[in-house]
Amino acid sequence: MALPAFSAAAPFRILIVNSYSSDWIWVREQTDGFKAGLGGVDAEFRTVDMDVKNQTDESVGAAAQRARELIEGWGPHLVFVTDDAAQAEVTVHFVNGPIPFVFSGVNKTPGDLGLSGAPNVTGVFEREHFAGTLRLLREIWPGEIRRIAVVTDDDPTWKGVRQRIGESVAACEDLGLESVEWIQPESFEEFKTVMSRLEQTVDAVGLLGIFRFAADGGGFTDYETVLRWVTENSSLPDFSFWDTRVERGTLCALTVSGTEQGLAAGRMARRILLEKIPPSDIPPEASSKGRPMISLARAKKLGIRIRSGLLLGSTVLSGFSWDQ
């Protein structure tokens, strides 16, 4: 596979295509990790954000079109693509082409994305730590956790997450779950109604997709507003898989690291650009490390005490993001 023409006197051209917004910490972690993984490679970067969590389908489509036009017109030496949506809208259009693509933060399988066997595509899959997170929650919470609910929005990303959680429940007998209820509210008001009902029907709730709940005035309710409402109105222990949730009041997570995924993707890109190794010779990886994170502020609101040994082995947040 031949890369676009490159002069030794010029930097590599690298296009970054984000499914979400560059302003979001999750995306910044992946991007910063990617650049660190490149290890000082001289490069000119351009970025296109699709921002699927906040924009209309029309705006998202227009951003994807800009990215495709940049690839065709600017001729980057490599494209770094974050999260699922941009794979379906951008990467899939260049499968088997001369330009290498490296992804991170991807939840779906290559087959789901139309990337199976693509010789110019490799990257890092995001794999959430469900079993580990549930075990962490049980170490924190003094009561039984047998019935859980999991909340998502309508982002297609959650389909793959749901499948993997189902596989974890089936594979890990020690989890001992009696039921897992999946809930997809359309609006913030519906979310609040559902959360109130869950107080009587489940032992804990997973807060995963909380970005696309319709707001009364149009658009989507900010996810910090959603999570702040939970801390002020829900008495259920809650969990997620990302530090951004725990920072905003979710009780705990064995977190998935955007930095780790970006760093691994950057190292792949460095090998492709400097060592001329084709993506087909660099097998995709899955995120492996999980970091226990606990919101002590949320624990206090729930009236629970956490043993010191567990706190010492975790990242502990003593306050909420909105108090800073």
Mean pLDDT by 10 residues, the chain (324 residues): 53 96 93 96 96 89 96 97 94 96 91 89 92 95 96 90 90 89 98 98 97 93 97 98 94 91 96 96 85 96 95 94 87
Domain identity same for 112 and 139: no
- Domain limits for position 246: 130-255+290-323
Taking each helix axis from N to C terminus, what angle separates 188-198 and 223-233, rounded to the nearest 10 degrees? 30
What is the number of domains present in the chain?
A: 2
Q: Is the residue at 1 inside a domain?
A: no
Q: How far is CA 217 from CA 57, 188, 211, 213, 221, in A?
A: 18, 11, 15, 12, 9
Domain identity same for 177 and 101: no
Q: Is the residue at 19 inside a domain?
A: yes
Q: Is the residue at 16 inside a domain?
A: yes
Domain identity same for 282 and 240: no
CA distance 232 to 234: 6
Q: Is the residue at 224 inside a domain?
A: yes
Domain identity same for 228 and 280: no
CA distance 85 to 100: 18
Q: Could you report the per-residue pLDDT of 175-230, keeping only the tens digit for each? A: 899 999 999 999 999 999 999 999 999 999 999 999 999 999 899 999 999 999 99
pLDDT at 307: 93
10 CB-near residues (< 8 Å, 6+ apart): none
Domain identity same for 59 and 91: yes
The residues with which 181 forms a beta bridge, in sequence order, are 149
Q: Is the residue at 6 inside a domain?
A: no
CA distance 233 to 225: 12
Cβ count near 163 (within 10 Å): 14
Q: Is the residue at 317 inside a domain?
A: yes
The residues with which 154 forms a beta bridge, in sequence order, are none
Domain identity same for 40 and 118: yes
Helix (H) or strand (E) holding 123: strand 121-125
pLDDT at 160: 86
Domain identity same for 191 and 54: no
Q: Is the residue at 75 inside a domain?
A: yes
pLDDT at 5: 53
Domain identity same for 38 and 150: no
Q: What is the DSSP letter of 124?
A: E
SS3 212: coil
Q: Is the residue at 2 inside a domain?
A: no
pLDDT at 10: 66
Domain identity same for 35 and 147: no
Domain identity same for 183 and 312: yes
Domain identity same for 109 and 164: no
Q: Could you report the per-residue pLDDT of 283-303, keeping only the tens digit for each? A: 998 877 788 999 999 999 999
Domain identity same for 269 and 232: no
Helix (H) or strand (E) holding 316: strand 315-317
CATH number of the CATH domain containing 151: 3.40.50.2300
Cβ count near 48 (within 10 Å): 23
pLDDT at 78: 98
